[in-house]
């Protein structure tokens, strides 16, 4: 806003995030996602059609793990504060 109101205060304006080299950062990030999901022969490890199977396998595991460990968060609440 200051640059719009007082343009004489500036020699130039660098908009965005000049310190971040997003072209490299984004290309590395997306490239890593592809490389990390490949077997040595180049075939994909996780495919979109396998995701429901993974979700079903993981759906009940965390709550069950907490019950098996005997951890009940409600017992950890300090009632004097409530």
Instruction: Please compute Rg for the chain using Cα positions.
Output: 26
Distance CA 6, CA 54 (A): 56
| pLDDT of 64 | 63
* Rounded Cα gap, residues 52 and 54, in angstroms: 5
Q: Can you give the pLDDT at residue 32?
A: 83
Residue 63: the pLDDT is 60
pLDDT, tens digit, 9 for 90 and up, residues 5-36: 998 998 888 777 666 777 777 777 788 888 88
* pLDDT > 90 in the chain, percent: 9
pLDDT above 80 for 3: yes
């Amino acid at each position: 806003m200051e640059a719009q109101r007082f343009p004489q205060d500036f020699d130039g304006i660098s908009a965005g995030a000049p310190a971040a080299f997003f072209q490299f950062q984004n290309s590395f990030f997306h490239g890593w996602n592809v490389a990390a999901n490949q077997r040595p022969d180049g075939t994909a490890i996780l495919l979109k059609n396998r995701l429901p199977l993974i979700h079903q396998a993981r759906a009940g595991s965390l709550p069950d793990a907490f019950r098996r460990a005997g951890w009940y968060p409600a017992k950890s609440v300090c009632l004097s504060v409530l």
